[in-house]
């Protein structure tokens, strides 16, 4: 066998390794990119599996993982009702005069503009005195009914659906080491299969072998790599080695990343407040708050009586309505404070991380498995097709269409 023939044979495992690496790289890239469909609908083109089904992926993530970590009531308690009430009061208190002026002008401009300054100051003082109690009772009331006020699944899916790139990044960051392994392992497994291919080709140099082995390399490297991420489900001791799915063996680090991303972007105090105040059940939240506002105004003694007489029955009802509305709007803005969001995020992140560490391997795999499970056959088949094409190129470009 001359030097050229030797090089031809040695090229087989090298090319197989490149094919395995390339097909796995393409499979990972096509899982996440492009974010929007590129091509001619409905058949000729591609959209990343995760972006294409971002809403469905979000629903699977909620059903398979978030729903098992904590109830909304637990999340609310972990965030800290007392801290929420204190923060709302701290932000609203300096603007009491502004809010009272706005509410009263909306209710009855003529009466308020002609009210003596002494009476206005008494109203300001009374509101300042009663506001902490109102806020505390409202926050406690919301906490007791939070499961009726906020749909956790709807909230998370809505937030995830707003930004396909963010959903992409969540899966990428949580599973980054595993995705890198899939790409690298393609080369190693490809070389291994290439050595077998080289031996078979030497003994039986049939023209169809290289394309068939190319298809097998592309198919098997994808299939093996994807399975090694999640299998075996439980640690299995074989001699001195312990076999465990790569992602499952990294539960602690993955839990840290997932809990951070989730509480940074999706399950946040701001999002819970927004879902409470503007979500599908916001009317019920307003009803609860209006009950507290009505009680505060009705129990304000002679001052309340004076206001009631001044604005009349219709104006008094409008006053309660305007107070509820402005409180809602003002309270929602208080959750934009960066330091408050950071402090509440850290508390919630701790809960999520601890609960994730307690998940079984079967439950934990569902954080990443949905990224592949439904359409992984397409990725595996794609690897096979690319490998088949590489096998034909190898046959004609390296071996000239026949044995070397």
Residue 84's pLDDT is 84
β 236-238/44-46 pair status: unpaired
Residue 157's pLDDT is 78
Distance CA 268, CA 215 (A): 47
Residue 22's pLDDT is 84
Element (H, E) at 346: helix 338-357
Q: How far is CA 176 from the centre of its chain?
A: 15
Distance CA 268, CA 285 (A): 18
Helices 209-230 and 376-393, interaxial angle, to 10°?
A: 150
Closest CA to 125 of 382, 277, 300, 364: 300
Q: 33: alpha, beta or left, given left = phi > 0 and alpha = psi -120 to 50?
A: beta
Name residue, tokens 């997932």. Answer: 258
In angstroms, what CA-CA distances link 240 with 46, 149, 243, 386? 45, 54, 10, 37
Residue 162's pLDDT is 76
Q: What is the DSSP letter of 359?
A: S
CB-based burial label for 88 (10 Å; 0-12, 13-18, 19+): buried
**Interior CA angle at 253 toward 251 and 254, to 5°?**
60
Name residue, tokens 């003694």. Answer: 301
Distance CA 43, CA 218 (A): 23
Structure-derived torsion over alpha carbons of residues 104, 105, 108, 114, reported in degrees to the nearest 10:
90
In angstroms, what CA-CA distances link 399 with 22, 174, 194, 396? 21, 43, 15, 6
Domain ranges of the chain: 3-398
Asked if residue 34 has a cis previous peptide bond (ω within 30° of 0), the answer is yes
Please check whether residue 103 is in contact with residue 293, taking contact to mean a CB–CB distance below 8 angstroms: no
Please check whether residue 369 is in contact with residue 207, taking contact to mean a CB–CB distance below 8 angstroms: no
- For 324, phi and psi rounded to 5 degrees? -60, -45
Q: What is the DSSP letter of 63?
A: I
Q: What is the DSSP letter of 243?
A: E
Residue 40's pLDDT is 85
Distance CA 57, CA 323 (A): 41
Cβ neighbours of residue 352 closer than 8 Å, sequence gap 6 or more: 69, 70, 258, 259, 262, 263, 267
Q: pLDDT digit of tens for each residue in the chain (404 aa)?
A: 678 778 888 888 888 888 888 888 887 888 888 888 888 887 788 888 778 877 777 777 677 666 667 777 888 888 788 888 888 888 888 888 888 888 778 777 887 788 788 888 888 888 888 888 888 888 888 888 888 888 877 787 777 777 788 878 878 888 888 888 888 888 888 888 888 888 888 888 888 888 888 888 888 887 887 788 888 888 888 878 788 888 888 888 888 888 888 888 888 888 888 888 777 888 888 887 777 777 777 666 655 666 666 666 777 677 777 777 777 777 777 777 777 778 888 888 888 888 888 888 887 887 767 656 666 777 778 778 888 888 888 778 777 766 55
In angstroms, what CA-CA distances link 297 with 15, 93, 134, 135, 142? 81, 17, 10, 14, 20
Residue 374's pLDDT is 63
Distance CA 195, CA 12 (A): 7
In angstroms, what CA-CA distances link 366 with 32, 52, 80? 18, 19, 29
Cβ neighbours of residue 369 closer than 8 Å, sequence gap 6 or more: 230
């Amino acid at each position: 066998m001359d030097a050229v023939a030797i090089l031809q044979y040695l090229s087989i495992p090298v090319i197989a390794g490149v094919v395995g690496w390339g097909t796995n790289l393409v499979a990972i890239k096509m899982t996440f990119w492009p974010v929007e469909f590129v091509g001619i609908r409905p058949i000729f083109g591609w959209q990343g599996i995760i972006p294409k089904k971002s809403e469905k992926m979000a629903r699977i993530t909620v059903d398979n993982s978030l729903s098992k970590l904590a109830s909304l009531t637990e999340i609310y308690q972990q965030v800290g009702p007392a801290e929420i009430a204190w923060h709302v009061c701290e932000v609203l208190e300096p603007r009491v005069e502004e809010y009272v002026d706005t509410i009263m002008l909306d209710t009855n401009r003529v009466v308020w503009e002609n009210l003596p300054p002494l009476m206005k100051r008494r109203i300001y003082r009374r509101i300042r005195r009663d506001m902490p109690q109102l806020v505390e009772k409202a926050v406690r009331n919301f906490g007791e009914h939070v499961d009726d006020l906020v749909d956790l699944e709807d909230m998370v899916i809505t937030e995830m659906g707003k930004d396909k790139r963010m959903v992409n990044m969540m899966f990428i960051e949580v599973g980054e080491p595993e995705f890198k392994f899939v790409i690298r392992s393609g080369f190693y497994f490809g070389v291994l299969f290439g050595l077998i291919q080289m031996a078979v080709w030497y003994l039986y140099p049939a023209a169809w072998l290289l394309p068939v082995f190319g298809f097998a390399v592309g198919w098997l490297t994808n299939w093996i790599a994807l399975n090694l991420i999640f299998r075996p489900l439980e640690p299995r001791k074989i001699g001195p080695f312990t076999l465990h799915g790569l992602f499952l063996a990294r539960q602690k680090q993955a839990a840290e990343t997932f809990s951070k991303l989730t509480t940074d972007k999706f399950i946040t105090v701001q999002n819970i407040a927004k879902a409470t105040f503007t979500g599908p059940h916001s009317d019920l939240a307003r009803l609860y708050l209006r009950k507290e506002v009505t009680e505060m105004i009705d129990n304000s003694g002679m001052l309340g009586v004076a206001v009631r007489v001044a604005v009349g029955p219709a104006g008094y009802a409008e006053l309660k309505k305007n107070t509820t509305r402005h409180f809602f709007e003002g309270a929602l803005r208080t959750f934009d404070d960066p330091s408050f969001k950071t402090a509440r995020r850290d508390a919630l992140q701790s809960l999520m991380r601890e609960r994730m560490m307690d998940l079984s391997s079967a439950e934990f795999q569902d954080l990443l498995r949905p990224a592949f499970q439904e359409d992984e056959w397409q990725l595996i088949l794609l690897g096979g097709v690319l490998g088949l094409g590489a096998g034909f190129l190898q046959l004609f470009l390296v071996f000239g269409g026949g044995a070397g």
